[in-house]
């Protein structure tokens, strides 16, 4: 099973996007299934370390939390943009990473960029530190703690026991 | 029922439009590149998200069935927008673009 | 209700596009212009999706998807060019 489906989640995602693109029917279901098996097998060499999903319910919870944050933070940032730019307190912040898996780090940087108010700008060579630019920062320690608690810890639980 | 759906579709269109506009206002008026970078990520997430939600709702209602094709666009944008923002930020740091004087912390040398 | 909301939605997104155009022309640096184009294609997707609703046609979905794909690739290519001076090393 593991040989045939090295990335079950990727296969599921491919299958669902195929069905969304072409409409739900038996024929496309079958064709999509073939593609969902063949494509991950063909791209296997591009993934040096396979990320292991350990906790699916946590992933669902994480996705919901991120969506909620995107909506609420968007409103907050809209207010920041519309008032005088002089009142903004921009900052570059360095976030020490606890995550080790590359895929989990990618997810964390994407999450940070998607939630408005913060954009991840760079990852250090050794994948230990993340450079973040914030639109309006009150307290550096509080921001780092918030990102760690809200996004990094769930990701750690999802991907690395 | 019809009026409710119509109301929701209209509301989603307006919310999407307003957030797309606010993102672009940020792009136009904020003083330095790193601040402007925050604009597009906003326009993507809620701006396009709002209009696509409206479209999903509208066509599902027209055809009396679930139609989720447009979700693919949102999914794709959610995956790609952070990547392009990240690469543009790296490019800006490489070119050592000036940032506002009162920015705390420093960008990294590339 | 929809016949009022749609023109307003169009107006909002066109205004956003005009602001992007301003940033594109004004610059002042290359990354700024790339960022303006990046925002522009995203707003163009929103515009096309709205147009699809207005015309009650599903054909525009594919156009939106294509713009999303090509826009991302071109932004990454330009950003890569700006950091490395080359796109494919």
Reported as a single tens digit per residue, the pLDDT across A30-76 is: 998 898 888 888 887 777 666 677 777 888 888 899 888 888 888 88
Taking the mean position of all CA atoms in its chain, how far away is CA A125?
20
- Considering only the beta carbons, identify the residue of B23, B33, B69 that sits closest to C29: B33
* Sequence-ordered alpha helix ranges (H) in A56-130: 56-82, 102-114
A to B CB pairs, distance under 8 Å: 117
Region for residue B25 given its phi and psi (left: phi exceeds 0; alpha: psi -120 to 50; beta: otherwise): alpha
Rg of chain B on CA atoms, in Å = 18
Residue A157 confidence (pLDDT) above 60: yes
Instruction: Return the structure tokens found at B31.
Output: 């003083």
* pLDDT reported for residue C21: 92
User: Is the predicted pLDDT of residue B49 greater than 60, yes or no?
Assistant: yes
Helices (DSSP H) in chain A: which residue ranges?
8-22, 26-42, 56-82, 102-114, 140-147, 153-159
Reference B90, options B78, B77, B108; nearest CA is B108
Mean pLDDT to the nearest integer, A121-143:
82
d(CA A148, CA A93): 13
- Show residues of chain B in contact with A88, CB under 8 Å: 30, 35
Q: For residue B110, what pLDDT is reported?
A: 64
B54 near C CB under 8 A: yes
Torsion angle (degrees, nearest 10) of CA C39, A120, A82, A63: 90
Q: CA B35 to CA A118: how far, in whole Å?
A: 10
- Chain C nearest CA to B44, separation (Å): 6
CA dihedral in degrees (A54, A59, A1, A39; nearest 10)?
-130
C83's tokens = 């950091």
A129's enclosing H/E stretch is strand A129-134
Please tell me which residue of chain B has the smallest CA distance to A90. Answer: B103
Contact C42 B55 (CB under 8 A): no
CA distance A55 to chain B (A): 21
Mean pLDDT of C39-46: 90
Residue-wise pLDDT tens digits, B2-44: 888 888 889 999 999 998 998 888 888 888 888 888 877 776 7
Task: Identify the pLDDT of residue B13.
Answer: 92
Instruction: Work out the burial of residue B2: count CB atoms within 10 Å of its CB; fewer than 13 is exposed, 13-18 middle, 19 or more buried.
Output: exposed
- Residue A147, phi then psi, degrees to nearest 5: -65, -45
Q: How far is A4 from B46, CA to CA, in rounded Å?
A: 38
pLDDT for position C89: 63
CA nearest A117 in B: which residue? Answer: B38
Contact with chain C for residue B24, Cβ under 8 A: yes
Residue B99 has pLDDT above 80, yes or no: no
Pairing of strands A91-96, A129-134: antiparallel
Please say whether the beta carbons of B57 and B9 come within 8 A: yes
By residue count, chain A amounts to 161
Residues in a beta bridge with A93: A132
Cβ contact A133–B89 (<8 Å): yes
| Average pLDDT of the residues of chain B | 83
Cα A73 from Cα A67, distance rounded (Å): 10
- CB contact (8 A) between residue B82 and residue A140: no
Q: Hey, how many other C-beta atoms are within 10 angstroms of the C-beta on A76? A: 12
User: Which residue shows structure tokens 């998807």?
Assistant: C65
């Amino acid at each position: 099973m593991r040989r045939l489906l090295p990335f079950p989640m990727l296969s599921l995602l491919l299958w669902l996007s195929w069905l969304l693109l072409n409409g739900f029917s038996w024929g496309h279901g079958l064709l999509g299934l073939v593609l969902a098996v063949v494509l991950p097998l063909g791209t296997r060499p591009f993934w040096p370390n396979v990320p292991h999903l350990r906790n699916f319910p946590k992933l669902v919870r994480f996705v919901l939390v991120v969506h909620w944050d995107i909506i609420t933070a968007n409103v907050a940032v809209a207010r920041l943009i519309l008032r005088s730019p002089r009142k903004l307190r921009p900052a570059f912040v360095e976030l020490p990473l606890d995550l080790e898996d590359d895929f989990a780090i990618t997810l964390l940087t994407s999450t940070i960029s998607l939630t408005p108010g913060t954009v991840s700008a760079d990852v250090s060579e050794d994948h230990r530190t993340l450079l973040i630019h914030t639109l309006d920062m009150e307290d550096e320690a509080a921001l780092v703690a918030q990102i760690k608690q809200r996004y990094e810890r769930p990701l750690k639980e999802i991907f690395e026991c | 029922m019809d009026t409710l759906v119509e109301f929701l579709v209209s509301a989603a269109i307006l919310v999407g439009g307003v957030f797309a506009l606010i993102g672009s206002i940020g792009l136009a008026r904020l003083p330095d590149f790193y601040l402007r970078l925050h604009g597009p990520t906003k326009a993507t997430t809620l701006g396009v998200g709002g209009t696509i939600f409206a479209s999903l709702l509208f066509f599902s209602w027209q055809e009396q069935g679930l139609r989720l094709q447009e979700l693919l666009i949102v999914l794709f944008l959610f995956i790609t927008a952070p990547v392009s923002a990240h690469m543009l930020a790296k490019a800006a740091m490489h070119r050592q673009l000036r940032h506002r004087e009162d920015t705390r912390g420093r960008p990294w040398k590339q | 209700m929809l016949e009022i909301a749609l023109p307003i939605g169009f107006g909002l997104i066109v205004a956003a596009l005009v602001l992007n155009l301003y940033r594109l022309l004004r610059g002042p640096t290359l990354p700024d212009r790339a960022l303006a184009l990046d925002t522009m294609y995203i707003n163009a997707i929103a515009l096309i999706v709205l147009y699809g609703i207005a015309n009650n046609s599903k054909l525009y979905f594919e156009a939106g998807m294509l713009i999303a794909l090509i826009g991302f690739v071109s932004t990454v290519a330009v950003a890569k060019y700006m950091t490395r001076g080359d796109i494919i090393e």
